[in-house]
Structure 1
Amino acid sequence: MVQSLEDVLGEQAKKLVELRMASNLILSTRSHSSIQEELAGVQEEVSSLKAELRLARGDLQVLNLQNGSLKKLSVLLESLNAKIIHMENNVPSDYLRNFGTLSGMTDISRMGVKKPSQESFTPHSVHTLSAIKQNDRYEEHHNCKMTLFNEPTTCYPELSLITQEEFNQLPKYMIGRQTLETLNNFLVTINSILKAKYSLLALGKNGAKKKGEFDLYMSFRSQESTDAKGKGKVYFFTAEDYHRQTKTKLDKTKLNLLTVLRHCKRLREVRAAKAIQYAVFESLNLQDNHN
């Protein structure tokens, strides 16, 4: 079909009119700047979700480590239970009666009940009281964990979680889109880092060697000897400690959360020679944790 030049120009003019109308409709309903703002908001939300996903991955790794420790503890408890059942089935009843008598006298002495007079002592009772005194002295220097598993008691700081009231008082520009749950999950991760670090320091050189972490132990000690000088005991962690424990870095989101924790007086920032230290606030009490 042959078209004249006028027909062709007419069709093109019609298409130009339609395109102009479509452009005017788009410009009237949504400006270019508003589209950019919405895209920027979407990008920010995606970045926040990525950060939360990394935090969740770090928490999962911590839970996996704790799960492994609980499995080991379960195996030890099963072994102890089997030994107790074996003793119950094989230890003579006379020994069990003597043990019950000894336990009863120990409880009486601790309750402050008056002991029998000197005239009522027999050679057997004198021997029994001597055993009680020895047992009491032993318990003063050894706890249950040291007796069963030969592990020391560790002392490390534990940061308390942020309350809803504290969270509500935070400036909006500081907390941004983060939630209370995200902030407290980050706190739990920090507590696990402090626990791992100061549990290793509590082992001493020999314990660290047996655990195969002597170099890390000496690194921690060298930091303590220079950074805690003149200030007493300072409990802290670094970005390197965070990466070692969680396999993730302190990105911009986590650094913002650290700023929030400093505002809430959970941590303070110490500028050391080699690295920034995030120290536990001095007013916080230490938790004696018996694992």
Structure 2
Amino acid sequence: MSELEQISQHVHSRISSLKLLLDLSLTDVSQSKMKKLGQEIFAVDRLLEEFEKCVERQREQLRSLKDLEESFQKNLEDVTHMKENIPSHMPKREGPAQGRELGVKPSEAADVQPLQQEQVKKSSRSFIREMDFITVLEFDSIPQYMRGRVSYEQLNATVQSINTAVTAKYKILHQPVKTLNNQSRKLQQRFKEQETKHTKGQFFVVEEDIREFTQMKVDKRFQGILNMLRHCQRLKELRGGGLTRYLLL
């Protein structure tokens, strides 16, 4: 039984006693009965005050519960929105810094350093850089006039296509010539001829690579998307020799 219910029963009990005393007083009014009647009235008055305080506490609890319900409802709406709008592409998490691999003690570093250097040389020849996907915050930061009707998913689909072209191109570049067929040898030669002193150590593609290795149309819309990627600092242009090279940042 709640506090409010207990006080309510007590008040009703006191009122019943008071009614009984009043009924008795109609037949025989004595000094003792009047005193008892006054005590009962005073007790009922104090109970009513306590009852009012209890009602106010209950109201305050009700307001707190309503605030809690509103907060819970808002959190539920936020979680539901997040669940229904999970980005199809998430930023990649960078791996551990070189030379800080787990399980290698400082005393063992000198022993493994020559082996690591050899592995780095081998991996550097096979490593192919990819463009990071655009985050939702980055997409929202792009001016509306630049975005036009391009959606978040369409922008990252272009990122995926560029990564596909970069991977295909540099896989051919990293292979020994004797392992390539005639078509791949021609492509490798073309890739090497497109390189300049400014692209040394960089990863880039040209429009011809996009057409060669993807199904994407290289049109005005594609150029608009490239502007968005430059705005998000994913690539930059390098012109020369009649070509526009798109370097990954």
TM-score by length of 2: 0.49
TM-score by length of 1: 0.42
